[in-house]
Amino acid sequence: MKKTKQSPSPALSANARTVLERRYLRRDADGKILETPEDMFRRVAQTIASAETRLETGTDAAKLEEQFYRMMVELDFLPNSPTLMNAGRELGQLSACFVLPVDDSMESIFEAIKHTALIHKSGGGTGFSFSRIRPANDVVASTSGVSSGPLSFMKVFDAATETIKQGGTRRGANMGILRVDHPDIMDFIMCKRDQRVLTNFNISVGLTEDFMKAVEEDGEYDLLNPRDGRLIKKLSARKVFEHIVDLAWNNGEPGIIFLDRLNRDNPTPHVGEIESTNPCGEQPLLPYESCNLGSINLARMCNDGDIDWDKLGRTVRLATRFLDNVIEVNKYPLAQIDEMTRANRKIGLGVMGWADMLIKLGLPYNSTDAARLGEKVMKFIQDTAHETSADLAEERGPFPNFNGSIYDKPGVRPVRNATCTTIAPTGTISIIAGSSSGIEPLFAVSYVRQVLDNDILVEVHPLFEQIAKEMDFYSPELMKKIAEHGTLRDLPEIPEDIRKVFVTAHDITPEDHIRMQSAFQKYTDNAVSKTVNFCHDATREDVAMVYQLAYRSGCKGVTIYRDGSRDQQVLSVAKSE
Ligand code: UDP
């Protein structure tokens, strides 16, 4: 295949190169690195473009390969990590997100553990609902014994994950969901109070509309045995809600997800009910579904202080085609996943670098204008992705479960993908792109970042450094001072308009966080990964208020974090020692 030699080199930072060299680039049996980052992007572009030949679309695969290559090498768009790591290699598993079913039987539970191990080995993350497992101390007919309950089985999943460690690529990640009406819910809410247990799990309580109504009315609700639907007892909804808030305030877990809302947006209700998301919460999936994600770097979609809508539109169209091709060439870890994923063809196109874009446009993250623009940008991406998916349906056929889906209406163009958009956390790909993560505000203008287990990276925001130099207030002493503060708020030596625009996660209120999450959620098929940061002194009432606000403003779930409430933080402001 023809290669264009003059393609631009990626402007990769030292941190990006470190990440790529450690985990992404091909190596030989002795661990010697066999490819450059450019080779990696070429490998991915070529593999994903090869779907065109397989599908006989008539598209020039070599030309498309070049477009895919440029889109990645110029850091305009990156697919999720497993695609970068595994495309064109023996493993060939390209998805970040999976959900597996766990039924109320030993066979099903241990089958799910085996499948989890296979998925983790390939770099994917897994989500499960444990709600179908009978509660602890229930009857087990076959042994005349008592059941151990969902929590004890979660420990087995956790231990299996610990052992796999994703084959040296990345840590296994799990999401564990329990419905709020499961009899073991109170123990579940508490299960991560000790930070040393279930370390390979994020946990979320699955809240229902009935429950939220009962909280509002200060009423009771029913706990039901999933085995036979029997009423076990009634609990005060407000007490349970306060219990969740208390534990989340304590160390950020559990999170919450709104199950009815996930199912209201379930594009294929005729195929099954959504009971879980992937590990970071942004991708609701049916049991045995997988999804591949990709994110457009909004920092690269600006031109002279304005949004370059043409470039953004072009990138969305190309990225949508890219992600649909991923489904085609993906090597799935299980036959059931292969079948389910190809039948619904969900993709999750999202964004990173949103905070960077706002800085370039001179808009403070915590302004109504920024939230309004968030809606506009995401609506544009969503509309363009849907149009592209409809074009792909004309070319390649709609997704096989289309009949009976929510799109199956007279006058509506069929689509190729049951969902198109998701806002991922972009934890690692944003480091590769040198952009802010997802739709998060800057964490700090200078900070220490812990990635990939225990590696530490120090970062100063490149746009800030550039502006400080241009405006002549750059000095190493000042940068050091900023690193200690973690915010520009109390530093009068920095011009006020710069301080306003370089707001960090801690300068903005939890309400600002939710406003932005809900702005993007409004035009996202799947869900939005977002952490609402609280200062250390925030109260339980503050947390409860944000949960209610998230519920009222259409979010599908919430993850909160109160500064300093965990022993180990993924991001922390640099200390001057
Ligand atoms: N994920 C995982 N292990 C990790 C990080 C992520 O399994 O260590 C999965 C998980 O399903 C998560 C999804 O990848 O929800 C997307 O995460 P992110 O955007 O941070 O991944 P990236 O592509 O940036 O590595």
The CATH number of whichever domain residue 230 belongs to comes to 3.20.70.20
* Structural element, H or E, at residue 156: helix 149-164
| Active site (annotated) includes residue 280 | yes
> Which of these ranges, 12-16, 282-286, 481-485, 521-525, has the smallest mean pLDDT?
481-485
**Ligand 1 within 6 A of 97 CB?**
yes
CA angle 529, 559, 364 (to 5 degrees): 65
CA 1–ligand 1 middle distance (angstroms)? 32
Nearest partner of 297 among 44, 77, 64, 577, judged by Cα: 77
Among residues 252, 277, 302, the one where a domain terminates is: 277
What was the pLDDT predicted at 443? 85
Q: Which of 80, 200, 202, 278 is catalytic?
A: 278
Q: Show the tokens assigned to 465.
A: 């450094």
The residue with tokens 């009222």 is 552
In whole angstroms, what is the distance from residue 152 CA to residue 8 CA?
53
What was the pLDDT predicted at 458? 56
Among residues 221, 253, 277, the one where a domain terminates is: 277
**Bridge partners, residue 446, by sequence:** 460
**Ligand 1 within 6 A of 81 CB?**
yes
- pLDDT category at 141 given cuts 50, 70, 90 is confident
Nearest CA to ligand 1 atom 15: 280
Q: Within its chain, how far is the Cα of 277 from the centroid?
A: 10
Q: What is the residue-averaged pLDDT of the chain?
A: 92
Coil, strand, or helix at residue 511?
helix
Residue 451: phi and psi, rounded to 5, are -125, 165
Tell me the average pLDDT across 549-571: 87
**Ligand 1 within 6 A of 424 CB?**
yes
Q: Is residue 151 part of a domain?
A: yes
**Ligand 1 within 6 A of 279 CB?**
yes
| Active site (annotated) includes residue 278 | yes
Q: Is residue 337 part of a domain?
A: no
Nearest partner of 506 among 520, 518, 492, 489, judged by Cα: 489
Q: 260 lies in which domain range?
A: 97-277
**Extended beta strands in 338-441, E state:** 347-352
4-30 as b/e: b if 16+ CB within 10 A: eeebeebebbebbebbbeebbbeeeee
Q: Which of 65, 266, 275, 280 is catalytic?
A: 280
DSSP annotation of 219 reads: -
Pocket residue to mutate for ligand 1, from 20, 97, 280, 451, most atoms within 8 A of Cβ: 280
Q: Is residue 179 part of a domain?
A: yes
Q: Is residue 291 part of a domain?
A: no
**Ligand 1 within 6 A of 171 CB?**
yes
pLDDT digits (tens, 9 = 90+) for 148-204: 999 999 999 999 999 887 555 677 899 999 999 999 999 999 999 999 999 999 999
Helix axes 462-470, 354-361, angle to 10 degrees: 20
CA 120–ligand 1 middle distance (angstroms)? 11
**Ligand 1 within 6 A of 281 CB?**
no
CA 147–ligand 1 middle distance (angstroms)? 33
**Ligand 1 within 6 A of 42 CB?**
no
Q: Is residue 117 part of a domain?
A: yes
**Ligand 1 atom closest to Cα of 529?**
15
Q: CB 238: neighbour CB atoms within 10 A? A: 16
Provide CB contacts within 8 A for 571, sequence distance 6+: 443, 444, 447, 448, 449, 450
**Ligand 1 within 6 A of 295 CB?**
no
**Ligand 1 atom closest to Cα of 281?**
15
**Ligand 1 within 6 A of 267 CB?**
no
Q: Is residue 378 part of a domain?
A: no
**Ligand 1 atom closest to Cα of 429?**
24
pLDDT digits (tens, 9 = 90+) for 101-125: 999 999 999 999 999 999 998 889 9
In the predicted structure, residue 516 carries a pLDDT above the cut 90: yes
CA 426–ligand 1 middle distance (angstroms)? 7
**Residue 240 near residue 190 (C-beta atoms within 8 A):** no
In the predicted structure, residue 4 carries a pLDDT above the cut 50: no
Q: Is residue 473 part of a domain?
A: yes
What was the pLDDT predicted at 453? 59
**Ligand 1 within 6 A of 427 CB?**
yes
In the predicted structure, residue 401 carries a pLDDT above the cut 90: yes
CA 293–ligand 1 middle distance (angstroms)? 9
Among residues 277, 306, 327, the one where a domain terminates is: 277
Q: CB 359: neighbour CB atoms within 10 A? A: 24
**What is the number of structural domains in the chain?**
2
**Residue 340 near residue 289 (C-beta atoms within 8 A):** yes
| Active site (annotated) includes residue 97 | no
Pocket residue to mutate for ligand 1, from 24, 81, 452, most atoms within 8 A of Cβ: 81
